[in-house]
Structure 1
Amino acid sequence: MESSVTSMLRDKGFKVTPQRLAIYGVLSHTTAHPSAETIFNELQPVYPTMSLATVYKTIEILKEIGLVQVLNAGEDSFRYDANVEPHSHVRCMKCGRVDDLENIDASAFIRNVSDHTSYEITGQQFYFYGICPSCRDSKAN
């Protein structure tokens, strides 16, 4: 995957740097949907001179070339996901965990929105909120 990321960056006129590859590496190897601050903190020991601004700028570049999607799950900061295929998310209102919802067919709902608004729907993001199993289990004990 690193070679395709390298190619995509170069094809779009962006420099390929170890920091950019590392930031994408963090995103592509997790389903935790980290914030920029989380990515920065994870990479700080390896890249001590890298700034938080570099993380934000790299995320914007990765978003621009279609390798990352930005999530706004109702928190103070955005989260990022290297899975750019259409899928929904669910967020725990107690601990803040965000999980992917895979294999949920939203096509009927999207078609219904299109039919009722006459919009040509070009994208969507669904967020669900609740209490995750870990928090629910710890509350029960």
Structure 2
Amino acid sequence: MMKMTPQRMAIMGFLEGNRSHPSAEDVFASVSRRFPFMSLATVYNTLERLSKDGKLLELSIDPGRKRYDPDTRPHHHIICTSCGKVADIHHEFDLEVPEGNNSGFSIRSNHVEFYGLCPECKIEEGGA
């Protein structure tokens, strides 16, 4: 079990209910205001531990940096191709790998990513 320091509690508090799918840098920028001597390594280590403990999803939807999702329920994501905003999609899709096409894998889960423009970027680009 992870030792609960004030810094780790602040990180967990920032993540609780957070729907912005923040990166470690986002978490650090917010939490370091309260803890100016906290290192980015503390944030990375805490996020990694929370991910390994199943309390946080580690997302690799952003090629430049990992993003994190405190909602560990099964769900999918929609990503804005313009600004990078990520939103949750809580809808079940009936996905199956065709028989004989799974290379011997035992399927345990799936994740679907949709890409498009968020409402704000759609307006900026003149779309309706």
TM-score (norm 1): 0.82
Partners of 1:16 and 1:136 lie apart in 2 by 43
Query: Which consecutive segments of 4 or more residues in structure 1 shift more than 4 A?
Result: none
Residues 57-96 of structure 1 correspond to what in structure 2 (within 5 A)?
57-96=45-84
Partners of 2:76 and 2:98 lie apart in 1 by 18
Q: Report whether the alignment pairs 1:133 with 2:96.
A: no
The AA in structure 2 aligned to 1:36 is A
Residues 91-106 of structure 1 correspond to what in structure 2 (within 5 A)?
91-102=79-90, 104-106=91-93
Give the structure with the higher percent helix.
1
Extract unaligned runs of 5+ from structure 1: 1-11
Number of residue pairs aligned between Structure 1 and Structure 2: 125
Partners of 2:49 and 2:6 lie apart in 1 by 14
Superposed displacement of residue 119, structure 1: 3.0
Residues 1-141 of structure 1 correspond to what in structure 2 (within 5 A)?
12=1, 14-102=2-90, 104-106=91-93, 108-109=94-95, 112-113=96-97, 115=99, 116-117=101-102, 118-140=104-126
TM-score (norm 2): 0.90
Identity %: 38
Extract unaligned runs of 5+ from structure 2: none
* Residues 70, 80 of structure 1: 8 Å contact kept: yes
